[in-house]
Chains A and B, each alone.
Chain A
Amino acid sequence: MLVAILSLSLLALALGLALGFAAVRFKVEGDPLVDKIDALLPQTQCGQCTYPGCRPYATAIANGEADINQCPPGGEATIHALADLLDREPKPLNPDNGVEKPKTLAVIDEQTCIGCTLCIQACPVDAILGAAKQMHTVIADECTGCELCLPPCPVDCIDMVPIEQDIMTWKWSLPEVEQVRESDQ
């Protein structure tokens, strides 16, 4: 009897120590699922998903607090990628969060800008350059088109312009093929 209790206790102690060691030795830094989800999000940092940025939204998805259809800039492609990753059914974009729009770029009308710095504070990726009572301008390469700079502007001098295609960014489109007899297949 005593031997049995003793041996089992020793066993439990040994296994407990092994597990404790493993927990410290093989600790995973951060949540890999959050990183994976974050990598699929467009990083617009617009907050339309109701979370303050892409990473917080990724965390919310990983914790099961948010659905996968709340990202308008990512649109259908992102929803499908998330559905693949999380092994869920893709669903249409939640209209409460917004609608999928073509990519745009913020442009400040430098004649109207009064240099209030409010947009600089609102920009989630530091893509606006300027100082108090100095003209502000958007660094085009770094603008994600999140539109967060629009509401704080007191003089309404920021416009969202669609990104125009030039021959450097142009790509071939899928051939428009009339599949004859497709229905016969």
Chain B
Amino acid sequence: MSRRLSKFNGGVHPPQHKTESTRLAISTAQLPKRLTLPLHQHIGEPAQALVQVGDHVLKGQQIASANGYVSSPIHAPTSGTVVAIGEYPIPHPSALNADCIVIESDGEDRWGERMAVADYHDLSPSALRNLIREAGIVGLGGAGFPSYIKLNPGHDKVIKTLILNGVECEPYITCDDILMRERPQEVIAGLRIARHALQAEHCIIAIEDNKPQALAAISAAARDYDYIEVVQVPTLYPQGSEKQLIKVLTGQEVPSNGLSLQIGVVSLNVGTSAAIQRAIFHGEPLLSRIITITGNGVDSPRNLETLIGTGMEELVSQCDGDPEQLGKLIMGGPMMGFALHRTDLPVIKTTNCVLSYHREQMPAEKPVLPCIRCGACMDACPVELLPQQLYWFTRSDELDKAQDHDLFDCIECGCCSYVCPSNIPLVQYYRFAKGEIWIREREREKAELARQRFEFRQARIERRKAEHGSRRKQKARADKQRDAKRAEIQDAVERAKQRREQAMKQAGQWQQERGDDKQDNTQQ
């Protein structure tokens, strides 16, 4: 069955460099002595450490728990001892350190408890999602969005199409290709579980036409399921981007600032699908992933099944590269990846590729020339934005105008930078503009809060002053009343005294009179 495919605007055909790393089969990377696991390997809140320094952990044991809805737990990739928890360098474009758990492996690779599910049909979609959440599965295509959220469309949404993304359009990267070639059953099993969790009507697996072996393997594995359709799509970068792929396959566009859920479509990466299969059928959380180690910094580029937290230099050595001779490492591909600030960083859940450059074979830096407004970037933009306008707005600090020109719809694919005859790093300007807008927004919110608190405090002080004033008046009035009463009492006392004195006087007179009488009597 062939599907009518739509097209998106632009796109580019950069040199592929994929064959280098597909000559060798997937092999398992050596068990490292030391694993560094950043707590923030996904989109959302960083995980919270559950272990302490000195704890012994088993393979698959949860060592950090999800913190909030958009977050993901982290598990020990092998058995060993937690030797440190603290800030260490992580693969991040900021070159900043972040909280990590460091495990020293004991070499035994001893599993903890594993809870496999015999038949996932017995489980409700919600129970399945919880298992997937607890297994720490995030999108392995590169973004690292917690997968269980994607599988939770909400009560009122009906998911028609579940897309399995095996496009892998970025140059150099072959981890999805090799996974589909060698483990198609795992990919299909994961897809079936995800379909059950979503209650989706049908599934599409999309594979670019530069991966004929993967296509053949997946088609063979999917043959028995009539709800799975395997679609070959022509090679074009950035077709692997979710919104572009949905457009190609369904002809529908995901609304601006919206989610694919709104048009009844969910898409998962093939690697994520295989990870879901492992979590459900084998009870194994996300501990390892396939990583493409390629570039001219290694002599035998290949795909390695690598434990999360393994050092990149170790991987380079295992692919016959000399870490001492590295010029630079890029995490991800040449289009969307970012250069790393050092070479001894750990791999994380979203590391799909480590692109290495030998010190003496670094890509030539092209001089940046002024923009000539040729419009090549506009023709290449898959989101139909006006890249040169966004560039000028960002340069002149007119970020509100950039926002009005749909800056936030930019997927940062790098097509504009790739085609720019002046070699302007356009995407970097958009990334800067987005970050700047977010920061300003946050500052505005903070200022608003400060304003409210200041005004509340002023009002409180005023109120207290008023209360104080009225209390004083009341007190004065009460004092007056009391004084008046006192005066009254004083008067009464005075009166009583006077009366008594008068009485005393009278009595005295009387006594005197009597005394006089007595005297008279004695005299008599």
On A, residues with C-beta under 8 Å from B are 38, 41-45, 53-55, 124-127, 142, 144, 165-175, 177-182, 185
Pair A173/B432 contact, Cβ less than 8 Å: yes
CB pairs A–B below 8 angstroms (16 shown): A43-B447, A45-B450, A53-B454, A125-B454, A125-B457, A126-B453, A127-B453, A142-B450, A170-B96, A174-B394, A174-B428, A174-B432, A177-B425, A179-B368, A181-B370, A182-B370
Pair A167/B425 contact, Cβ less than 8 Å: no
Query: Which of A165, A177, A182 has the most B CB atoms < 10 Å from its CB?
Result: A177
The chain A residue with its CB closest to the CB of B365 is A178
The chain B residue with its CB closest to the CB of A41 is B447
The chain B residue with its CB closest to the CB of A171 is B435
Contacting A at CB under 8 A, from B415-467, are 424-425, 428-429, 431-432, 434-436, 438-439, 443, 446-451, 453-458
Given contacts A165-B96, A167-B92, A175-B432, contact A45 B454 (CB under 8 A): yes
Pair A180/B368 contact, Cβ less than 8 Å: yes
Q: How far is the CB of A38 from chain B (nearest CB, A)?
A: 7
Q: How far is the CB of B458 from chain A (nearest CB, A)?
A: 8
Pair B94/A177 contact, Cβ less than 8 Å: no
Task: Kindly list the 9 A-B residue pairs having the minimum CB-CB distance in the complex, ordered from nearest.
Answer: A171-B435, A43-B447, A172-B431, A170-B94, A43-B450, A175-B428, A125-B453, A43-B451, A177-B368
Pair B432/A180 contact, Cβ less than 8 Å: no
- A-side contacts of B450, CB under 8 Å: 43-45, 125, 142, 144
Interface residues on B, range: 35 or more
Among B425, B439, B446, point to the contact of A175 (Cβ < 8 A): B425
CA distance A172 to B454 in the complex (A): 33
CA distance A165 to B432 in the complex (A): 16
Pair B98/A167 contact, Cβ less than 8 Å: yes
Pair B432/A172 contact, Cβ less than 8 Å: yes
- A-side contacts of B258, CB under 8 Å: none
Pair B451/A177 contact, Cβ less than 8 Å: no
Q: How far is the CB of B135 from chain A (nearest CB, A)?
A: 24
Pair A165/B94 contact, Cβ less than 8 Å: yes
Q: How far is the CB of A174 from chain B (nearest CB, A)?
A: 5
Proximity string of chain B (71-107) to chain A, C-beta cutoff 8 Å, 1 when within and 0 when not: 0000000000000000000101110101000000000
- A-side contacts of B118, CB under 8 Å: none
Pair B98/A124 contact, Cβ less than 8 Å: no
CA distance A172 to B426 in the complex (A): 13
B369 beta carbon closer than 8 Å to chain A: yes
Among B46, B370, B394, B435, point to the contact of A179 (Cβ < 8 A): B370
Among B369, B435, B447, B458, point to the contact of A181 (Cβ < 8 A): B369
Among A45, A167, A172, point to the contact of B40 (Cβ < 8 A): A167
Pair B96/A166 contact, Cβ less than 8 Å: yes
Pair B96/A178 contact, Cβ less than 8 Å: no
Query: Which of B431, B435, B443, B451 has the most A CB atoms < 10 Å from its CB?
Result: B451
Proximity string of chain B (323-365) to chain A, C-beta cutoff 8 Å, 1 when within and 0 when not: 0000000000000000000000000000000000000000000
Among B429, B439, B458, point to the contact of A171 (Cβ < 8 A): B439
On B, residues with C-beta under 8 Å from A are 40, 46, 90, 92-94, 96, 98, 367-370, 394, 424-425, 428-429, 431-432, 434-436, 438-439, 443, 446-451, 453-458
CA distance A169 to B93 in the complex (A): 13
- B-side contacts of A182, CB under 8 Å: 370
The chain A residue with its CB closest to the CB of B38 is A167
Q: How far is the CB of B361 from chain A (nearest CB, A)?
A: 23
Among A38, A168, A177, point to the contact of B424 (Cβ < 8 A): A177
- B-side contacts of A166, CB under 8 Å: 96, 98
Q: How far is the CB of A43 from chain B (nearest CB, A)?
A: 4
Among A38, A127, A167, point to the contact of B94 (Cβ < 8 A): A167
- A-side contacts of B367, CB under 8 Å: 178, 180
* Given A43-B451, A45-B450, A166-B98: 8 more A-B contacts, CB < 8 Å: A124-B457, A125-B450, A127-B453, A165-B96, A167-B96, A168-B46, A170-B92, A181-B369
Given contacts A171-B438, A175-B432, contact A43 B369 (CB under 8 A): no
CA distance A180 to B450 in the complex (A): 45
Among B40, B429, B455, point to the contact of A174 (Cβ < 8 A): B429
CA distance A126 to B454 in the complex (A): 8
Pair A42/B369 contact, Cβ less than 8 Å: no
Q: How far is the CB of A142 from chain B (nearest CB, A)?
A: 7
CA distance A99 to B47 in the complex (A): 40
- B-side contacts of A41, CB under 8 Å: 447
- A-side contacts of B40, CB under 8 Å: 167-168
Q: How far is the CB of B257 from chain A (nearest CB, A)?
A: 20
Among B368, B435, B447, point to the contact of A172 (Cβ < 8 A): B435
Pair A43/B454 contact, Cβ less than 8 Å: yes
Query: Which of B96, B454, B458 has the most A CB atoms < 10 Å from its CB?
Result: B454
Q: How far is the CB of A166 from chain B (nearest CB, A)?
A: 6
Query: Which of B370, B434, B439 has the most A CB atoms < 10 Å from its CB?
Result: B370
Pair A124/B429 contact, Cβ less than 8 Å: no
CA distance A165 to B94 in the complex (A): 10
Q: How far is the CB of B4 from chain A (nearest CB, A)?
A: 39
Pair B454/A54 contact, Cβ less than 8 Å: yes
The chain A residue with its CB closest to the CB of B426 is A175
Q: How far is the CB of A184 from chain B (nearest CB, A)?
A: 8
The chain B residue with its CB closest to the CB of A124 is B454
- A-side contacts of B432, CB under 8 Å: 171-175
CA distance A173 to B435 in the complex (A): 8
CA distance A173 to B458 in the complex (A): 39
- B-side contacts of A172, CB under 8 Å: 93, 428, 431-432, 434-435
Pair B454/A185 contact, Cβ less than 8 Å: no
Among A38, A127, A168, A173, point to the contact of B451 (Cβ < 8 A): A38
- A-side contacts of B96, CB under 8 Å: 165-167, 170
Pair A180/B369 contact, Cβ less than 8 Å: yes
CA distance A173 to B447 in the complex (A): 23
CA distance A41 to B369 in the complex (A): 38
- A-side contacts of B453, CB under 8 Å: 125-127, 142
The chain A residue with its CB closest to the CB of B453 is A125
- B-side contacts of A168, CB under 8 Å: 40, 46
The chain A residue with its CB closest to the CB of B451 is A43
Query: Which of A38, A142, A167 has the most B CB atoms < 10 Å from its CB?
Result: A167
Pair B451/A54 contact, Cβ less than 8 Å: yes
- B-side contacts of A170, CB under 8 Å: 92, 94, 96
Q: How far is the CB of A140 from chain B (nearest CB, A)?
A: 11
CA distance A110 to B447 in the complex (A): 27
